[in-house]
Structure 1
Amino acid sequence: MKVVTEPLAGGSALARDYMNRYETVEHLYGGDFRNEGSRALRAEWLDSREALRADRAQVAACLRSYNEAHNPHEAVKSSLALLEQPGTLVISGGQQSGLFTGPLLVIYKAMTTIIAAKEAGEQLGRPVVPLFWIAGEDHDWDEVNHTYVLNRSGEISKIKIEKSGDLRSSVSDIKVEDESWQQAVAQLDELLQDSEFKPGIMEFIREASSASNNMTDLFAKLMGNLFGKFGLILLDSADPCLRKLEQPFFETLIRENGELETAYLNAATVIRDSGYQLQADVAEGSANLFYIHEGTRLLLHKKDGFFTDRKGTVSFSKEALLDILYTHPERFSNNVLTRPLMQDYLLPTLATVLGQGEIAYWAIPHKAFKTVGGAMPLIIPRMSFTLVEGTLQKHMDKYGIGFPDVHQGLDSKRQEWLTAQDELRLGDRFEETKAAFNALYEPLIEQLGTIQAGLLKLGSNNKDKILDQISFLQAKAQDALEKQNEAALRQWERIELSLMPQGKLQERVYNIMYYLNRYGPDWLDNLMAVPADYSGTHRMIYM
Structure 2
Amino acid sequence: MNTEHYDLPSAQPLTEAYIHRTDANIESLYGYHAGREQDWAVRLKKLEELSGSRANPAELAEVLRQYNSPYTTPEVDASIRAIAEGAPVIIGGQQAGLWSGALLVIHKAVSIVSGAKWASEKLGRTVVPVFWIAGEDHDWDEANHTFVLNAEQELRKLIVQRPEGPRTSVSRTAVETDSWNAMLEELEQTLPHSDFKPGLLEQLRQIADQSRSLSDMFAGILSFLFGKEGLVLLDADDPKLRKIEAPMFRRMIEENDELEAAYKSAAEKVKSLGYQLQADVVEGSANLFVFNPANGDERTLLHKRGGQFQDRKATAFWTKEQLLQLADEQPSQLSNNVLTRPIMQDYLFPVLGTVLGPGEIAYWALTGEAFRKLGMEMPIIVPRMSFTLVEGTIAKHMMKYELSFEDVAKRFEARKQAWLSEQDQLSIEERFQDVKQSFVAMYGPLLELAGSIQPGLLKLGETNRQKIVEQIEYLEAKTKDAFNKQYDASIRQLDRIALSLWPSGKPQERVINMSGYWNRYGSAWLEKLLELPFSPTGGHQLVYL
Give TM class, smaller chain. Answer: over 0.9
Matched, 1:163 2:162: yes
Q: Which amino acid aligns with 2:179?
A: S
- Name the structure 2 match of 1:439: 441
Residue deviations 1:445-497, cap 9 Å, x none? 21233333343333333222222211111111111122121111111111111
Displacement of 1:9 in angstroms is: 3.3
- For residues 421 and 35 of structure 1, what CA distance do their matches in structure 2 show? 52
CA distance in 2, matches of 1:9, 1:37: 26
Q: Match for residue 345 of structure 1?
A: 347
- Asked if residue 457 in structure 1 is aligned to residue 431 in structure 2, the reply is no
2:115 counterpart of 1:129: no
Per-residue deviation, residues 160-187 of structure 1 (Å, max 9, x unmatched) = 0001224121110000011111111111
TM-score between the two structures when normalised by the length of structure 1: 0.98
Partner residue in 2 for 1:209: 208
CA contact under 8 A between 2:291 and 2:299: conserved in structure 1? yes
Partner deviation per Cα, 1:305-335 (whole Å, 9 max, x = no partner): 0011111232122112212322211110000
Once the two structures are superposed, residues 20-53 of structure 1 have per-residue CA deviations (whole angstroms, 9 ceiling, x without a partner) of 1166221110301232311111111111121211
1:301 & 1:28 partners in 2: Cα distance? Answer: 26
Change (3 A) 1:468 1:244: same
1:9 and 2:16 matched: no
Return the letter of the residue paired with 2:72.
P
Instruction: Report how far residue 54 of structure 1 moved.
Output: 0.6
Residue segments in structure 2 that go unaligned for 5+ positions in a row = none
State the partner residue of 2:79: 79
Q: 1:467/1:22 Cα in 2 relative to 1: closer, same or farther (>3 Å)?
A: closer
Distance in structure 1 (CA, Å) of the matches to 2:60 and 2:106: 25
3-state secondary structure, aligned to 1:82: helix
Q: 2:378, 2:250 → 1: CA distance?
A: 20
Q: Could you say which residue in structure 1 is the equivalent of 2:509? A: 507
SS in 2 for 1:109: helix
1:467 partnered with 2:462: no
Partner of 1:59: 60
Work out whether 1:261 is the aligned partner of 2:263: no
**Number of the residue aligned with 2:482:** 480
Q: Give 1:407's aligned residue.
A: 409
The answer (yes or no) to whether the contact 2:10–2:358 under 8 Å persists in 1 is no
SS of 2:282's equivalent in the other structure is coil
* Residue of 374, 380, 383 corresponding to 1:381: 383
Partner of 1:37: 38
* 2:427 paired residue number: 425
Could you tell me which of 364, 368, 375 is aligned with 1:362?
364
Conservation of the 8 A alpha-carbon contact between 2:34 and 2:537: no
User: Structure 1 CA distance, aligned partners of 2:503 and 2:2?
Assistant: 22
Quote the Cα distance in structure 2 between the aligned partners of 1:121 and 1:450: 90
SS in 2 for 1:485: helix
Aligned residue identity for 1:318: K
Separation in 2 of the partners of 1:457 and 1:254? 75
Structure 1: distance between partners of 2:124 and 2:424: 66
The Cα of 1:136 is off from its aligned counterpart by 0.4
What CA distance in whole angstroms lies between the structure 2 residues aligned with 1:210 and 1:348? 34
**Whole-angstrom CA distance in 2 between matches of 1:84 and 1:176:** 33
Quick one: distance in 1 between partners of 2:438 and 2:308?
Answer: 79
Using the TM superposition, name which of 520-529 and 109-118 deviates more. 520-529
Which residues of 2 match residues 47-446 of structure 1 at below 5 A?
47-69=48-70, 71-86=71-86, 88-294=87-293, 295-446=297-448
2-structure distance, mates of 1:6, 1:471:
41
Query: In structure 2, which of residues 491, 494, 497 is the aligned counterpart of residue 492 of structure 1?
Result: 494
Indicate the larger mover: 181-190 or 160-169: 160-169
What is the distance in 2 between the residues matched to 1:345 and 1:430?
71
- Cα distance between partner residues in 1 of 2:379 and 2:429: 60
Residue 524 of structure 1 corresponds to: 526
Name the SS of the counterpart of 1:379 in structure 2: strand
Shift of the 133–41 alpha-carbon distance from structure 1 to 2, 3 Å rule, reads same
Paired residue type of 1:472: Y
Does 48-57 or 228-237 show the bigger shift?
48-57
Q: Are residues 457 and 273 of structure 1, via their aligned partners in 2, closer, same or farther at CA, if it must alter by over 3 Å?
A: closer
Partner residue in 2 for 1:27: 28
Q: In the aligned structure 1, how far is the partner of 2:23 from the partner of 2:167?
A: 41
Say if 2:118 and 2:534, in contact at 8 Å, map to a contact too.
no
Matched letter for residue 426 of structure 1 = I
Counterparts of 1:368 and 1:483, CA distance in 2: 62
Runs of 4+ in 1 over 4 A off after TM superposition: none
Q: 1:84 deviation in Å? A: 0.8
For 1:141 and 1:460, locate their aligned partners in 2 and report how far apart those are by CA, in whole Å: 56
- Report the CA distance between 1:424 and its aligned residue: 1.1
Supply the AA of the counterpart residue of 1:456: L
1:481-532 deviation digits (Å, cap 9, x = unpaired): 2212111111111111111111110001111110011011133112210111
Quick one: distance in 2 between partners of 1:525 and 1:182? 29
Q: Distance in 2 between matches of 1:417 and 1:494?
A: 15
Q: Structure 1 residues 129-138 or 193-202, which shifts more? A: 193-202
Partner secondary structure for residue 386 of structure 1: strand
Corresponding letter in the other structure for 1:327: E
Question: What is the DSSP-based 3-state SS (H/G/I as helix, E as strand, rest coil) of the residue aligned with 1:131?
Answer: strand
Total equivalences in the alignment: 541
Distance 2:327 2:523 in 1: 45
Identity across the alignment (%): 48
Deviates more, 1:280-289 or 1:515-524: 515-524
Separation of aligned partners in 2, 1:246 and 1:324: 12
Q: 1:11 is matched by which residue type in structure 2?
A: A
Alpha-carbon separation, structure 1, partners of 2:206 and 2:415: 46
The alignment partner of 1:410 has SS state of: helix
Shift of 1:534: 2.6
Q: Deviations over 1:267-310 (max 9, x none)?
A: 00111111111110001110000000021000001001001111
- For normalisation by structure 2, the TM-score amounts to 0.97
Name the CA distance, whole Å, in 2 between partners of 1:511 and 1:496.
16
> Which deviates further from its counterpart, 446-455 or 418-427?
446-455
Name the CA distance, whole Å, in 2 between partners of 1:243 and 1:152.
44
Q: Return the offset for 1:195.
A: 1.4
What is the CA–CA distance in structure 1 between the aligned matches of 2:284 and 2:176, rounded to whole Å? Answer: 39
C-alpha displacement of 1:237:
0.4
Amino acid at match of 1:100: W
CA distance in 1, matches of 2:483, 2:324: 72
SS of residue in 2 equivalent to 1:4: strand
CA distance in 2, matches of 1:78, 1:411: 51
Distance 1:41 1:151 in 2: 49
Between the aligned partners of 2:5 and 2:342, the Cα distance in structure 1 is 31
For residue 2 of structure 1, what is the amino acid of its counterpart?
Answer: N
Tell me, in whole angstroms, the C-alpha distance in 2 between the residues paired with 1:211 and 1:159.
Answer: 21
